[in-house]
Structure 1
């Protein structure tokens, strides 16, 4: 029987070590014993190293678009083929493609970019059960901390194309919308691909949030809903170099 393994930054944990909490979990819980390697000031150095590694790996990346979506999408699902198609179109439009580096929609996005001879990037994350990087990544960075990984998506992407997905996809979507709404990022198009999946959420945003004045008028226009891969790519605009120095 093959023992489960998971990656923690540059380290692979198996056997009894696999039962250790993830870095995010350890950061957010109060330790029951004091150990210098578990103290928050020490963790600051780990966090700093993640930012340094991410910035160093992605600094010369061409203009890029991030594709988000479910890790559980099967290769025979039409959604997989659509994500692959969108990624290929993005490459032909002059973009690199960034995903979370895992299976499902993420693999489809990396595959489409790779097969189109573009730059295919995967930003992985430590999870309790090893998800692993897919086989279609040209540049891969694995993170311990979700917030460091999110920074890389936002810093190095010109826009997001969000396919159907679960809690993680919704988290990434609403973080992007919040930063756009508050002016923390500018000129940042967001596409929700798959109207059947997204329509109930969009209706709730417009009928409950906007009508109830929980968001401002026009905030529901911060994203585009489409079923057309060509329209999704066109919504990203023209590639523009983002200087990171």
Structure 2
């Protein structure tokens, strides 16, 4: 159960691998002294030649360096073919044993059949749409966010699967519905991309500006903090973050010491 494999080297995969890497490097020796750090393995598998493929090359290089420093093994240019009996088989025939596999390589839409239409599903089961978020081949049905596939000259493979796309498309449709007008097509405004890798480790591409390290980490925290609803929530989260930063501690950790209490241990030690 100490073997972790993350499938997908996008922002979600990098953040999860970095979090487990911090557990191995900083937390394990403090909270679980009976477990040797070498007994915990973390591997991230990415099918392309670099991590964070939607971000800049500088961000990809920084993420690779930081994950290596957090003792995470990175496998690039590899695809997972099967996962049976806790064994992952890659496209090159190699295998990895892991009892904890985390999938972050994207989602596939559930197929829906429409009769009497010219509708054809797009890549990954997404709904191809026009520039007004209307599903091509259907009438009065719209798709936004990850389930929609809107291609443009800048994004020939479709708009990125980011929260900002869904938010902007939602506001666009609401405005059109309320005004009952369809005079202007949707135009995505890229506000940049960010990914946190760990403590004091992050990358950010803000148009022509690239940030990394502590500055990018602070920017990531600030943006997520101001996105919370309510001033009370913002203050509580900020206090918890400050406490966790300086104490390396969290109230969400659970320690089990069954060997000290044999009768209690029987509850989870039974094979």
TM-score range, shorter chain: under 0.3
Which protein has greater RCO, CA pairs closer than 8 Å, 6+ apart?
1
Q: TM-score, normalised by structure 1?
A: 0.26
More helix by share: 1
Q: TM-score, normalised by structure 2?
A: 0.24
Pair member with larger Rg:
2
